[in-house]
Structure 1
């Protein structure tokens, strides 16, 4: 029993992740326009109309920009917690009540042999949460948009086969950038985003024997670079006894180009 997934887009301009099993397929967030989402699905040779549903993490525009368009065009079920539904009111247009489903935080929903578990993160949204996919013995954990990774979060996402893990910014670049101080303070706060180094520390805490792949996600356009993120994460992991390239592989994500559809 295997799962396939692709990080369709990741970054401050838009986020979307695709996960499928033999029986079901889900999109986590739709943070790009409907036209862009159509193009991303074509690149991985999949069809939006075949989705079992869309899972929403939180109401920020880089996660829901295309949500309403896709829901209406393809008549797709949408899953979000109550506070997120309220926060999205007026942002995504009218969604038929038959398409609106509540997915409470810290619960699981089952779709045949696929189990999807939700968990809360620390971010400045109404009730932000991310997801862990379980299928047979396989596990994929998604965690971005959090100011820190708590012990509770670590327990939920531990020992996944693959991670999509936030590695948002380089602290030095952020401190020196042109952003106003209130924006810098927000990013650096406990309800902002994790840095490359803090992400790597959390990665080393949750990795297990079956962990093989980590995708570095939600990189800041202004305050990070792919090479820098990979170097910083590699150095921090290896300082904690994790050998990159042997024990695990690191992969880039991109704001516009999907990762290869990978079997886990």
Structure 2
């Protein structure tokens, strides 16, 4: 077995993912209730004691809601985050199991190689992660206002890419959000739009150096400013303009806001 991925929840109200090899189990963010985290683990046949690491992207509540409870029950798991993030969440985790993660310095948790990279978001020191094992790579890119060269370096080599498609720009602009919040979401430290995700995927496909079709899961969709159908349609049309096609050049799925997804294996 190479790597497995599943989503427990994905969206502005809470995010939690699992990445798993045969011998190592990791959680990425725990922004939902502990009850839902443990239910997701049980549904996927994993006990809290089997979790080897909890990786936190940043300190916003939709990514750390149950960190205190989960880190306590997952007693064998280290908690990994950037030093900036750790400074904010220190009261939620046991000090002896807190590990600072320098950007661009790969490290291992069990048999999974973790590559952290900087995100552009309005948080203390937001960090994305790529996970590699047995020649396969899973990369998670959410909560960033744009795709930098550093981020794209991880994107272009991913076999499975979890990519933010937070909002449809016109829906957000015409919606009920107050103007300062709209500016925040649309800014360089906000969230990726459907359009930005589509253009990122076009660049990814242009840079591919082998024929293997990448698998992409759209994530962190806004409940108010997006729908799965809208995200799919916008991205499909952008891909079509560059002569790329879903199911031919890439596989495309969308992470559900509130349901545990099936495992995706790469």
Q: Same fold (TM over 0.5)?
A: yes
Whether the 8 Å contact between 2:24 and 2:111 is mirrored in structure 1 is: no
- Name the structure 1 match of 2:119: 121
Query: In the alignment, which residue of structure 1 is the partner of 2:255?
Result: 253
Residue 227 (structure 1) aligns with: 229
Tell me what 2:199 maps to.
201
How far the C-alpha of 1:43 sits from its partner, in A, is 2.5
Unaligned residue ranges in structure 2 (runs of 5+):
none
Q: Normalised by the size of structure 1, how large is the TM-score?
A: 0.95
CA offsets 1:80-120 (integer angstroms, 9 cap, x no match): 11110112245x3xx32221111111111123542110000
The equivalences for 1:140-159 within 5 A come to 140-159=138-157
Equivalent in the alignment of 2:135: 137
TM-score normalised per structure 2: 0.94
C-alpha RMSD over aligned residues: 1.3
Counterpart Cα distance in 2 of 1:191 and 1:223: 18
Report how far residue 246 of structure 1 moved: 1.2
| Aligned equivalents of 1:12, 1:153: Cα separation in 2 | 21
Q: Give yes or no for contact 1:166–1:216 (8 Å, CA) kept in 2.
A: yes
CA contact (8 A) 1:27 1:53 kept: yes
Q: Deviations over 1:156-184 (max 9, x none)?
A: 32131111000000011101111100000
Change (3 A) 1:211 1:103: farther
* C-alpha distance in structure 1 between counterparts of 2:79 and 2:19, whole Å: 15
Alignment: residue pair count:
261
Q: Which whole-Å CA distance do the structure 2 matches of 1:31 and 1:239 have between them?
A: 36
List 4+ stretches of structure 1 deviating above 6 A. none
Aligned 8 A contact 2:216 2:251 in 1? yes
**Cα pair 1:146 1:192 within 8 Å, conserved:** yes
Q: Return the alpha-carbon distance in structure 2 between the equivalents of residues 229 and 214 of structure 1.
A: 13
